[in-house]
Structure 1
Amino acid sequence: MATDLSFVEYIAEQSRLESSLTWKKMFGEYALYLGGKVVAFACDNSLFIKASPETAALTAALPGRPPYPGAKDYPVADELLDEPDQLRALLLATERAMPLPKVKGAAKRVKASKAVKKAPAMKAPAKNAAAQKTASKTTPAKKPASTKTATRKRPVR
């Protein structure tokens, strides 16, 4: 079941984080962001907090379950929706505990530069005729392309 936008707006209202808390719809559900970091997910109209060792004490009393099939258990903070101060404190603590997101453009440039450095060196062409003959004997000759073009007669109507 997809999460309603009104539920996400309610979370934002209850957390009192104003424009600091943003969200992005993903596969019918929502990821909630603080400072560019994912801090929670809204799935099936429930609030799932990203777990971290730093926030374990704040989420210890919360029930846990997976937000979608095949996922690990996340603390479910639905009961904190009626406790704005605790919800705000949990979201801010989670934001401090999460690492900064990786910059996508820089990561691609780094991968590209590593690929260029790892490229194998090209062989130099043979300099003399004997070497060329040896090279041509070891490599199979390519068949020349046919010069004839197939023509089909179309039936006359």
Structure 2
Amino acid sequence: MSSTLDYVDYVCDQMRGAGEISYKKMFGEYGVYCNGKFIGVICDNQLYIKKTEAGALLYPGCEEAPPYEGAKPHFLIDKVDDYDLMSRFIAATYQELPMPRQKKKKRPIRNVEMTESKIPISTCCPQEAALVKVRSLIFPT
């Protein structure tokens, strides 16, 4: 079962005290960002936040679970109704997580000019060499 947009909007509203909260649809669920930094996901109407030491101190005894099969354990947040706790928790998590890596810029495709080859035609393409020889016999220079 995928998450409902109403739930995603509600949860993101509860975190707004931590900074600019946004979400992005990812693989049928939603990735959650704070000030452009990925902090967690919402899967099956449940909020999963990346584990940090600061988060563990602010939310002791928080259940841990992977948001999907094969994922690392995240904090599974069940008390999303407490605006102040959510804002402090997300702000502390944001501070501890590293900034995203800069994407490498793609190098532009260069146009390569055709130049005369230094390799004799007879070694690279014997059929072409034969045609050149025939042409020189028919059309002498």
Fold shared by both chains (TM-score > 0.5): yes
Runs of 4+ in 1 over 3 A off after TM superposition: 16-19, 141-144
Q: Which residue of 1 aligns with 2:105?
A: 108
Q: Which residue of 1 aligns with 2:136?
A: none
Distance in 2 separating the partners of 1:88 and 1:48: 15
More helix by share: 1
Q: What percent identity do the matched residue pairs reach?
A: 33
Measured after TM superposition, the shift of residue 60 of structure 1 is 3.7
Distance in 2 separating the partners of 1:100 and 1:19: 15
- TM-score (normalizing by structure 2): 0.70
SS at structure 1 position matched to 2:55:
helix
Distance in 2 separating the partners of 1:66 and 1:86: 22
Gaps of 5+ in 2: 109-116, 129-141
Q: Aligned-residue CA RMSD in angstroms?
A: 2.9
Distance in 2 separating the partners of 1:143 and 1:92: 72
What is the number of equivalent residue pairs in this alignment? 121
Measured after TM superposition, the shift of residue 88 of structure 1 is 0.8
Q: Which residue of 2 aligns with 1:92?
A: 91
Tell whether the 8 Å contact from 1:63 to 1:76 is kept in structure 2 after alignment: yes
Gaps of 5+ in 1: 114-123, 127-131, 145-157
Tell whether the 8 Å contact from 2:64 to 2:75 is kept in structure 1 after alignment: yes
Distance in 1 separating the partners of 2:91 and 2:19: 14
